[in-house]
Structure 1
């Protein structure tokens, strides 16, 4: 009789060890699968930004303040390469002439669907009065028939994949050559990057 009673706890212990081992093995297997998926299929990728077009929308002279404002219409495409939506906050686009800021505009917040893209329009106003310190260089550019300017767009956002949240800043830096007196964009070169 005592031998039978002692074998029952051994069976229970063995059964518990087997169940515990199976559960532990399943947890390890699940963790490995999640890790592989997180590093491959669900890896957070930076969005790509691309300048689609640049055009002079209009000029607005102000005779009272002796100013000339030129509106430049920039069209940006943001491509989301993730399997989750990219939610972006308020971005900013700056207009620079010879390294000095001469205009800026906000990019409104929004959401880009998973594996999708969206086009954003930015209207930048070049405030000629802000070029006062570089007026001689500007006049020389006008006489030469072309004005070189730069745009810098920054769009902060976030991608959430399961429990992983990644903050991303999409950047687009462009150099524009504007013909004078037609004010058409002759040439544009852009560099787009993203900071994770």
Structure 2
């Protein structure tokens, strides 16, 4: 009976060693090849679609209607897909929210860059009480900012889920006289 029980122990040790090796292989792959990387959100361009400005000198007021086309992209450098939830692109004037555009939920495949074409329209009623708008209008430039955040999950090896938030903030100025968008300065941030 001793010879049979030794054979069972050897089989148990071999099976255990193979299982440990497989688990170690998955852990090593999870922390190297399939390691979660930051999605990169980029504002590729901001173009002026529409600009209507009327100056009311008697009331020292500017009536403004601005529509911007914002081309943004999200690059997924991971070896697995990135699923993101509904989001919103925001348009700000001197720190005040003046416009937004929805970004519907979706998925970005591994090593894919997905482009988004967003249309942002200024909510003029939010600007009517801003005293700086009149001085910006008379100076000829309108300082604006776009802010885009995408939040989602990267699924690694089918059982490891990593939550990821990627955002970009771009400052730029609209030249009122020739209706063009000036130089952009963008900052990008990603949290795993």
Bigger Rg, structure 1 or 2? 1
Report what 1:3 is aligned to: none
Which secondary structure state, in structure 2, belongs to the residue aligned with residue 133 of structure 1?
coil
Matched, 1:82 2:81: no
How much is the aligned-residue C-alpha RMSD, in angstroms? Answer: 1.7
Deviations 1:123-151 (A, max 9, x none): 111122211231x2111111112111111
Report what 1:151 is aligned to: 146
Which secondary structure state, in structure 2, belongs to the residue aligned with residue 169 of structure 1?
strand
Which secondary structure state, in structure 1, belongs to the residue aligned with residue 127 of structure 2?
helix
> Which consecutive residues of structure 1, in runs of 5 or more, have no partner in the other structure?
1-8
Give the whole-Å Cα distance in 2 for the aligned partners of 1:96 and 1:41. Answer: 39
Report what 1:12 is aligned to: 4
The answer to whether the Cα contact below 8 Å between 2:63 and 2:128 also exists between their aligned partners in 1 is no
Report what 1:160 is aligned to: 155
Give aligned pairs, total: 184
Shift of 1:85: 1.3
User: What TM-score, normalized to structure 2?
Assistant: 0.89
**Match for residue 176 of structure 2 among 172, 175, 180:** 180
Which secondary structure state, in structure 2, belongs to the residue aligned with residue 158 of structure 1?
strand
The answer to whether the Cα contact below 8 Å between 1:156 and 1:168 also exists between their aligned partners in 2 is yes
The answer to whether the Cα contact below 8 Å between 2:167 and 2:190 also exists between their aligned partners in 1 is yes
Higher helix share: 1
